[in-house]
Structure formats: structure tokens, C-alpha cells
Amino acid sequence: MDGEKIDKIIEYHRADKSKLVGILQDVQVEYNWLPEDALRHIAKRLHVSLTDVFGIATFYKSFSLEPRGKHLVRVCLGTACHVRGGPRIMETAERILGIKADETTADYKFTLEGVNCLGCCALGPVMVVDNDYYGNLPPRKVEKILSDYGYTSADKEEKHT
């Protein structure tokens, strides 16, 4: 953790503890997750309890206390997507990436998550990579989509050797 980077983020928000969510969002953008050292630093600088900072960081699903991959892959498993094949999309992504839901590839390129709803039920099944939505998705297109974000079949082979 780079204390100077964290301090710049805090100063951008005028060290205002009411801006804690925004500070955490910016720190997560910087590191792609919320390291414990960063949370301790934020608590100290804002003069708030570490419990309060952890409370916010664990309340919102968008925050991660574990390192994430460069690309976040989310597969909708809500009712509308489920009945249209969401579980098949998840199984395909797991097979291709060589990880299970809520795991990160060893090279930190991809994190795969199942979510309850992405708010676009009419497009189900839906997969989101970073902020790009792919709707009415057949399983056969998952590998091509992931390859657009840097996945290669060699990545999977490297993990298993």
C-alpha cells in the first residue's frame, strides 16, 4: 500500500468522513481491492473507528477485501437469467477460466462472480466483463468474449502445469 496515494485520495475528498464511501471507491479503483493496511490508514486519517470503515467495506458487495483480477466477470444468476441459461454461462466461464465462482485466476487476470441481478432481465442470460454487458448470451460465445479481455487457452494450461 502506498500511503501517499491514499493520502491524495483522502485529500481529494477534503478528508471529510462523510465521504467515506467515495474514498473507499477511489482506493478500490487504485488497487482493485481494499487492502487492510489502506483501511487502517483511512480510519486513522479520518479519525473514525476501524470498525466503521470495515462496516462500510463489508456492507456493499461492490467492495472487495480480497485481491481481484484485472477483469471482473459477473454472471447473472437471478430468476430471469437462471431460466434462460445463466447457470450454463457460469459453468462455461468456470471451465474456460479454470476457477469457480467467487475465485480469481492465479495470474490475477480474471475474477469470476455470480450475482443475483444485473437489472437487465429482458436480456438474459447476461454476463458483464468490467462494465461491458453481453446479453442473450449463448455459452459458445463466452470464450470469444473472454479472449477480447486477454484470455488465452495457454493461460489455463499454465495454471495446471
Given a cut of 70, whether residue 9 has pLDDT beyond it is yes
52-101 pLDDT, tens digit each: 999 999 999 889 999 999 999 999 999 999 999 999 999 999 999 999 99
Confidence of residue 156 (pLDDT cuts 50, 70, 90): low
Q: How many CA atoms lie within 13 A of 74 on its CB side?
A: 17
Task: Identify the residue with better confidence: 16 or 156.
Answer: 16
Mean pLDDT, residues 138-157: 87
Structural domains of the chain ordered from first start? 3-59 (1.10.10), 71-159 (3.40.30.10)
Among 63, 59, 71, which Cα is nearest to 23's? 63
Q: Is 103 helix (H, G, I), strand (E, B) or coil?
A: strand
Confidence of residue 155 (pLDDT cuts 50, 70, 90): low
**Type and span of the H or E element at 113:** strand 110-115
- With residues binned 3-state (H G I as helix, E B as strand, rest as coil), the percentages for the chain, rounded to 5, are 50, 10, 35
pLDDT of 1 reads 76
89-140 pLDDT, tens digit each: 999 999 999 999 999 999 999 999 999 999 999 999 999 999 999 999 999 9
Q: Please name the residue that has the C-alpha cell 462500510.
A: 56
Q: Is 114 helix (H, G, I), strand (E, B) or coil?
A: strand
Q: Distance (Å, rounded) from C-alpha 2 to C-alpha 7?
A: 9
pTM of the model: 0.81
35 prior amide bond cis, ω within 30: no
Given a cut of 80, whether residue 159 has pLDDT beyond it is no
